[in-house]
Amino acid sequence: MKKIISFTLCTVLQMGLLLAQQKPSGLKVNDRAPDFTAKDQSGKSIHLKSVLEKKSVVLVFYRGQWCPFCNKELKTLEDSLQQITGKGAIVLAVSPEKPENIAKTIEKTKATYSILYDEGLKIMKSYDVAFAVDSLTITKYKTYGIDFSAANGTANGANLPVPAVYVIDKKGKITYRHFDPDYRKRASVKEIVSHL
């Protein structure tokens, strides 16, 4: 009996450790920002390294047009864009959603900065913000009419980013991060601007 309990406890602990390892923790301040290339809402190819030759970058990961917290954050960034550009920076937002849903984000937020479709979750994974949505959450959100796989397409499926913000300097170094798994907590513009 002791062996069975010991085995079961060990298995549960290992599963807990495995789950903990699968949760993203995000890149840290002073980490080098991984380079990427992606298309924005206008079909323009955005290459991070090229952008950093001229400006620093405020990189924002958001969940989707269905998320009121994301829409509020993106609208606030748009409303405060002059404060950011006045410090020699630009905003790039990244989403797992398909381009037609990014268009809905722009309708809701009036965003004029580039919003990038992260096909295959390459950017989200390289910044360690991507996670697979658990089945209970998938079912719960479907009752609200939100289907992650439909919103994100088959390439991205039921995966989301932790809503994170990174400020990246011209040398490609992360100088600020806001990373909070609680999607309701977002970085303020004042905080972002103070790190530019």
Is there a domain that residue 7 lies in?
no
Is it the case that residue 10 has pLDDT exceeding 80? Answer: no
- Residue 142 makes CB contacts below 8 A (sequence gap 6+) with none
CATH code of the domain covering residue 105? 3.40.30.10
- Report the domain count for the chain: 1
pLDDT at res. 14: 40
Picking from 39-43, 55-59, 88-92, which range would have the lowest pLDDT averaged per residue? 39-43
Which of helix, strand or coil describes residue 67? coil
Is there a domain that residue 11 lies in?
no
158: pLDDT confidence band, cut at 50, 70 and 90? very high
pLDDT at res. 1: 47
Distance in angstroms between the alpha carbons of the first and the last residue of the chain? 61
Question: 167: which 2 tokens?
Answer: 């400020």
| Structural domain of 181 | 25-193
Question: 2: which 2 tokens?
Answer: 């002791």
C-alpha–C-alpha distance, residues 31 and 48, integer Å? 15
Is there a domain that residue 3 lies in?
no
Q: What is the pTM of this model?
A: 0.87
Is there a domain that residue 100 lies in?
yes
- Residue 147 makes CB contacts below 8 A (sequence gap 6+) with 141
Which of helix, strand or coil describes residue 179? strand
Is there a domain that residue 132 lies in?
yes
13: pLDDT confidence band, cut at 50, 70 and 90? very low
Is there a domain that residue 145 lies in?
yes
- Residue 17 makes CB contacts below 8 A (sequence gap 6+) with none
